[in-house]
Structures are given as structure tokens and as C-alpha cells.
Amino acid sequence: MKASDDGRRPLRDLALRYTSGAGRLAAAIAARPEAAAELTGRPNRVAVISDGSAVPGLGDVGPAAALPFVEAKAALYAEFAGIDAVPICLDTGHARGTDGVVAAVRAIAPTFGAVDLTGFASPSCRDIERRLRIALDVPVFHDEQHATPVVVLAALRNALRVAGKDLHTARIVVLGSGVTTGAVTRLLLHAGAADVTVCTPHGILDPALDTPPEPTAWLAGHTNPRRLHGGPAQALAGADAVVAASADGQLDQHLVDTMAAPPVVFALAGPQPPASPAAVTATHLTELLAFPGIVRGLLSARAPRITTAMLLAAADVLAGLVGEDALGPHRLLPDVVDPQLAPTMAAAVAAVEASRRRAEPTVHKGP
């Protein structure tokens, strides 16, 4: 064979695969759409999508300026979980907002095994996630609604252990408003926290309110068992733990001093208020502890959606990776580079999906 022929051979092989090999795969998928999971790279591919309306630390900078942030998150998926993540920034023009984003993501969804929404402004991000969760056959992940609650729950469990307290009996206050406040509170309740009070900038949510504004109606009906009234001062007096989920300026040293000793103080939006040396504190808990492992598990199990049981399992893993010898007031979670973190969390998430499928009733077809 001539050298020139040898150089052209790989190109001929690729051409044959494209025209005949790819054609056979396309025909197989057209006949049986679920075959795409075995015949394409879709099961290991995630779309990391932003419209640049709420880039962390920068705010509304637009889709072009959001690209480095989205590219960085895609690189983290690859590094920590071996996921093929594709950064996508949407410029929906006049359709910017819920309708435009939902339409754009639905249009590209057949390429991906999961969708990661990042850097979308609140409260539209909640509606976008909800609508896509209903419309798509793949999981839709959002840090504020999935990663942040998992990290907070894991850290809070360990913080309460350090303080000699228990999640099920502790008095917990969540300060703030918005998507993160609601998502954190819901997961705490599902985890067994029985005494949770939510205090927004407008005051304590009260289950006795006649017409609480959406989306706080559910929170108002499932929190504040002590029927407290007022603001942060009334909510925090005697509380065991506080999670300041948004930067609403409600948490200060005076309020922390009224809490039960030793206080557990999480200032997620910073800054951390001064506290006594006995306090158990945390700030800026990173979602990197959660999202690679959770999404890796979703993809490995080919799960169609994210469930509360998965988030609880992920939080169990995250809390459990800190041994008793390492646990302390300022050491509540494992390092992000812990090699056990992503694979252990992924296995736990995948196990929940496997259990769900086993529990589904068998559908018998034919006679």
C-alpha cells in the first residue's frame, strides 16, 4: 500500500462510519427511541445552561459574560465525575425569562442525559425547573434547589452533633426568602426536623395566616409549630441553630447571643457574624461537594428525575464522610477533593433509583 493511501485510510473509515454506521444507529433509534441510551453518548452528557441573569458574585451580566462561569462548571463535572458536560449560554432576546428558556432547553434536550440550570435569577429559576421537570424525560438539576439543601443538611447534622444536639429535636430557624430558603426548609423537614421556623424579611411565616403569598404557602403550613409571631428576635430567642439562607441583613451578634448555647450559625450569604468560641459556624458552603456526585448517580442509573429520597441519601453520604476524629466546630464536611466523595454519593443516588424501579408495579403486556 502506498503511503498516500495509508494516510487517507482513516478518513475513508470515518466516512463509512458516518454514512453507513451512523445510518444504522439512527434507524435503530427511530424504530426504538429508548435505544439512544445504548447507541449514543447521551447517557453521559449534561447540558450546563445559563442565561447570565444571576451569575454568582456578579448578578445579571448576560449570557456572553456568563460563559466562563458555565465553562468552569462543565470542567468540574469532567474532573470530579467523568461527565461530558457541554456549556450553553442562552440569549433568548425579548423572550428572555421562563417561556424562552423552557422552549430553548426543550429543543436541545434530546442530546443530553441531564440538564443543569445555573446562574438563573430567582424566582423565575424555580418556575423554569418545575416546567422542565414536567416536560423532559431526563433529570433537571438546579444548585439552589438540589445541591445547596444537600450540603446544608449534611453540615447541619454534623454541626448539631458537635453541639451535642439532634436534628429531630433541635429548634432550627431559617432566615431569608427565595428559592434557597424554601428548598433548604423542605429538605430539613423531609429529613425529620420537627421544629423549623422560617423568618422572611416580612416576619415569621405562620401556619395561621389566612392567605399566605405563594410560594410561601406550603412553608407556612408546615413550619413554626410553636406558633411564634414577630421577626428575627422572636424566632431566634432560644433557638439551637440558624441558617441564614439569603443576604437579608437579619442576622447579627445580638441575635446570636439570644440563642441556646452552643449556637449553630450558618451564614450562607455571608458575612458570618461574630460569635462565641463555643459556637459551631459555617459560611459559603460550596455546591461542589454535591453536584458532581448527585448528577453522576443520576446518569449512571438513567434516572428520569431527581427525588427527595436521592437528596437525603446524598446528604447522608456527605455527612458520613467526616469521621468522629476529624469532626469539629469548623470541620463539618469533607474536602471537595476527597476521592471518595463523588463515587460514594453517586452510588447512593443510583441505589435509590434502583430501589424505586424495583418497587414499581410490573406491567404485563399481552395475554
Spatial CA neighbour of 93 closest among 101, 105, 102: 101
Please tell me the distance from the alpha carbon of residue 13 to that of residue 158, in angstroms, as a whole number: 56
- From residue 6, alpha-carbon distances to 10, 14, 105, 210 in Å are 8, 14, 43, 79
Which listed residue (2, 73, 77, 365) is catalytic? 73
Distance CA 299, CA 346 (A): 9
> Any residues with CB less than 8 A from the CB of 26 and at least 6 apart, and which?
none
Element spanning 174, H or E: strand 171-175
For residues 32, 303, 97, 66, the Cα torsion angle rounded to the nearest 10 degrees is -110
How far lies 184's CA from each of 246, 274, 291, in Å?
Answer: 11, 23, 15
Gap between the Cα atoms of 178 and 86, Å rounded = 28
Paired sense of beta strands 203-204 and 195-200, if any: antiparallel
- Hey, which residues does 114 pair with through a beta bridge? 46
Location of C-alpha cell 440569549: 91
d(CA 88, CA 69): 11
Place of cell 454519593: 345
CA distance 191 to 279: 23
Separation of alpha carbons 45 and 47, rounded Å: 7
Residue 168 φ/ψ, nearest 5 degrees: -70, -25
Among this protein's residues, is 2 annotated catalytic?
no
Catalytic residue from among 18, 77, 165, 365: 18
18 in catalytic set: yes
Whole-angstrom Cα distance, residue 294 to residue 314? Answer: 7
- The separation between the first and the last C-alpha atoms of the chain, rounded to the nearest angstrom, is 60
Annotated catalytic residues are 18, 73
